[in-house]
Structure 1
Amino acid sequence: MSQPVRIPSDVDREDRVIGQLTARQLLILTVTGIVLYGTYSATKQWVPLLLFLAIAIPIGITAAFLALGQRDGITMDKLALAALRQRLGSRHQVAAPEGIRPVPDWVTSRVASSGGSDSPLAISPAALRLPAEAVTDTGVIDLEVDGMAVVAVCSTVNFALRTPAEQESLVASFGRYLHSLTAPVQVLVRAERLDLSGQIAELREHAGGLPDPALEAAAREHADYLEQLGRATDLLRRQVLLVLREPVRAAGVTDGLGGAPLLARLTARRKAAKQHGAVDEAARRAAEARLARRLGEAIDLLSPAGIVVTPLDSSQATSVLASACNPDSLIPPNAGLAGADDVITTAPDDEWDDSTVGSADEADDWDDDVDQRSGS
């Protein structure tokens, strides 16, 4: 008879080398100690001990804070490196896969004459690079060299109201799916803003067609309650997403535990750097076929547990990515919004002021100048 095996909740926890210190923490503290000791040995004949301690103690405290501290599960040294990259990088990033065009003269002249705090030379936009390169018509997310991914929404099961026998059956069904995994899978539980404006409008629209006046009054009262509830608090809803990812290149050798050895991972990383951008369409189609097969297996294996897996189409996958990049947006992303590469046009009204944003002739001159530069 099989016995239950206890699995740690944090499977990504780093290994402890000495006591409770990991290899990364031990390296930071050791390097800091060696540097401080070497500095003291070289300067102890000229620098008094108290003056050296006044300089060395803050440095040691900072090193210990970076090595031992963490926030939201991320170590402080990684947060410090991310803050440094953000500070040194461009503050203005735009969606421009074709490259950054030069700013026209009529824009820079007006910015300079307005006397703003940001000069034209200080504003240097850079191309925005996102992990997701594109979303196909079938909902497959192209991650370039990182492979392909597909997102599916999963229904939930009330586990607490089931009998012990039913709970064991649910756990066994989910365990069978976990045992079948051969590639990366992410189960994401996310919370997003809930917009009830559509339901409220539908209630008020159909309230007049109800056969009984009492039902009509109840429908209108319920609509007023939902509207008051939306104004009084932030309504959230939970969504469970199943994310499957498939690499476009064949995986390397693995050890007995399913992971690749260190040498194999370093070799694969160097090969991936050399072959960057060399992924052909055949490899992408093969990755999409493997994703479709894995998605079908997930649907078949999770259905006995009462979990309905529904893959997202192109517009739904784009909406999920947009809301993940901007979760605090008051406008929920949907298929009706313009894309990053769509041109939005409108007819000018009577209050249109060419002196504020530039005339059409100046814009045409700018386009002609850019075309001449690219042609030369």
Structure 2
Amino acid sequence: MSRVPHGGRYATRIPADIDREDRILANLTARQVAILGGAGAVLWAAFMATRHLIPPLVFLACSVPFASIAVAFALVRREGQSLDRLLLAAVRQRFAPRRYVPRDVGGMPHRLGTSGGHPPAPFALPVTGIHPDGLVELGGHGCAAVIACGTVSFALATVGEQEALVAGFARCLHGLSSRIQILMRAERMDLMPMAVRVFEAAPGLPDAELEEAAREHARFLADLADRSELLWRQVLVVVRDDSADPNDADSTPALRQAEQVAAALTAAGFEARVLDGLAVSTVLAAACDPNNPTPCSLRDPYEVVRSR
């Protein structure tokens, strides 16, 4: 901490990773200290119990694998997660149900109940309702609104444009009065609907060479869909309001906050719009069924593709 020369204020550095765990001993977190301390206690207890039966060198050689595993669990990280958390997540995933069914299903089909593997489990979707204006009811957890955002190329912008983007995004964050979540999703894309549409529209072109070029482009799209698994990215901003009552028409600050966030992002140079009820339902359905590719088809033949 240092003193600022003007005004007598104090300034301190704040880490960029605000979720970073506190270090309590030798630059180790409480979780790491607990893992290493517990492993050390187990080894010491085993040594004290077997010191009259096993030579110390033999015990030391036998304890090296156990100590190495404990050190790896405590210190090694992969993709930002420690090995103990990854192991716990793998165990949960292994014993979790593989299939989910809606809660309102009357009875479990006999064939599904007797089939091998994990039986289906009720899917606990926190969404209890979606209004036509896009307001999502979360039961006793308030309401939420969803914003679809585009992307910009920050690396190709000039220094002045980069500063303007950062300043505009900072103004958007400073104007928040509720929690938000920025979600980036990757979905599989199906090019076949677009290829079929281009192929069918080719005979209507005024020139034979244009018609042949359109057919060639349709064949290229079909071949690309067969050879590769294409992905497209979707950026969503979810605005939450935990205290909102969805039955009160005047108590929808989530939608008002979402409109303000969308306006601020648009002013900063991003494409942003608040999704209505049908669009929110489509997003949730796609998230619940990731194995179903999203068909890629332009509504307008003159529409310019910006975000895919």
TM-score by length of 2: 0.76
Give, in whole Å, the separation in 2 of the partners of 1:289 and 1:53.
Answer: 65
Corresponding position: 1:238 with 2:228: no
Aligned partner of 2:87 among 77, 80, 87: 80
Residues 259 and 274, structure 2, Cα contact 8 Å, conserved in 1:
no
Instruction: Please state how far the C-alpha of 1:174 moved relative to its aligned partner.
Output: 1.3
Give, in whole Å, the separation in 2 of the partners of 1:179 and 1:326.
Answer: 35
Corresponding position: 1:157 with 2:152: yes
Residues 135 and 317, structure 1, Cα contact 8 Å, conserved in 2:
no
Q: Which structure 1 segments of 5+ residues have no match?
A: 250-281, 335-376
Residues 70 and 76, structure 1, Cα contact 8 Å, conserved in 2:
yes
Question: Residues 293 and 127 from structure 1, CA distance in 2 versus in 1: closer, same or farther, beyond 3 angstroms?
Answer: same
Name the counterpart of 2:269.
Answer: 306
The correspondence of residues 263-274 of structure 1 with structure 2, limited to 5 A, is none
**Matched length:** 285
Residues 135 and 277, structure 2, Cα contact 8 Å, conserved in 1:
yes
Residues 145 and 239, structure 2, Cα contact 8 Å, conserved in 1:
yes
Question: Residues 64 and 293 from structure 1, CA distance in 2 versus in 1: closer, same or farther, beyond 3 angstroms?
Answer: same
Give the letter aligned to residue 284 of structure 2: L
The correspondence of residues 18-37 of structure 1 with structure 2, limited to 5 A, is 18-37=25-44
Residues 147 and 275, structure 2, Cα contact 8 Å, conserved in 1:
yes
Name the counterpart of 1:167.
Answer: 162
Give, in whole Å, the separation in 2 of the partners of 1:153 and 1:162.
Answer: 22
Give the letter aligned to residue 101 of structure 2: A
Q: Give the 3-state SS of the residue equivalent to 1:208 in structure 2.
A: helix
Corresponding position: 1:134 with 2:123: no
Aligned partner of 2:252 among 289, 311, 324: 289
Please give the per-residue CA displacement for 1:299-339, whole angstroms capped at 9, x wherever unaligned.
22222222232222334334433444554x144389xxxxx
Give, in whole Å, the separation in 2 of the partners of 1:287 and 1:75.
Answer: 46
Give the letter aligned to residue 247 of structure 1: D
Give, in whole Å, the separation in 2 of the partners of 1:290 and 1:146.
Answer: 14
Instruction: Please state how far the C-alpha of 1:176 moved relative to its aligned partner.
Output: 0.5
Name the counterpart of 2:65.
Answer: 58
Name the counterpart of 2:215.
Answer: 220
Give the letter aligned to residue 86 of structure 2: L
Instruction: Please state how far the C-alpha of 1:54 moved relative to its aligned partner.
Output: 4.9
Give the letter aligned to residue 156 of structure 1: T
Question: Residues 13 and 93 from structure 1, CA distance in 2 versus in 1: closer, same or farther, beyond 3 angstroms?
Answer: same
Q: Which structure 2 segments of 5+ residues have no match?
A: 1-5, 7-11, 297-308
RMSD: 3.5
Give, in whole Å, the separation in 2 of the partners of 1:158 and 1:318.
Answer: 29
Name the counterpart of 1:320.
Answer: 283
The correspondence of residues 8-23 of structure 1 with structure 2, limited to 5 A, is 8-23=15-30
Please give the per-residue CA displacement for 1:164-213, whole angstroms capped at 9, x wherever unaligned.
33333222211111112233222223332222222222222222222222
Give, in whole Å, the separation in 2 of the partners of 1:71 and 1:100.
Answer: 43
Name the counterpart of 2:304.
Answer: none
Question: Residues 125 and 52 from structure 1, CA distance in 2 versus in 1: closer, same or farther, beyond 3 angstroms?
Answer: farther
Name the counterpart of 2:190.
Answer: 195
Residues 192 and 238, structure 1, Cα contact 8 Å, conserved in 2:
yes
Give, in whole Å, the separation in 1 of the partners of 2:250 and 2:42.
Answer: 49
Residues 129 and 138, structure 2, Cα contact 8 Å, conserved in 1:
no
Instruction: Please state how far the C-alpha of 1:291 moved relative to its aligned partner.
Output: 0.8
Give, in whole Å, the separation in 2 of the partners of 1:198 and 1:243.
Answer: 30
Give the letter aligned to residue 332 of structure 1: T
- What percent identity do the matched residue pairs reach? 39
Please give the per-residue CA displacement for 1:23-65, whole angstroms capped at 9, x wherever unaligned.
2111211122123213322442344435543553332222222
- Pick the structure with more helix per residue: 1
Q: Give the 3-state SS of the residue equivalent to 2:259 in structure 1.
A: helix
Residues 263 and 272, structure 2, Cα contact 8 Å, conserved in 1:
no
- Pick the structure with more strand per residue: 2
TM-score by length of 1: 0.64
Question: Residues 331 and 146 from structure 1, CA distance in 2 versus in 1: closer, same or farther, beyond 3 angstroms?
Answer: same
Residues 189 and 293, structure 2, Cα contact 8 Å, conserved in 1:
no
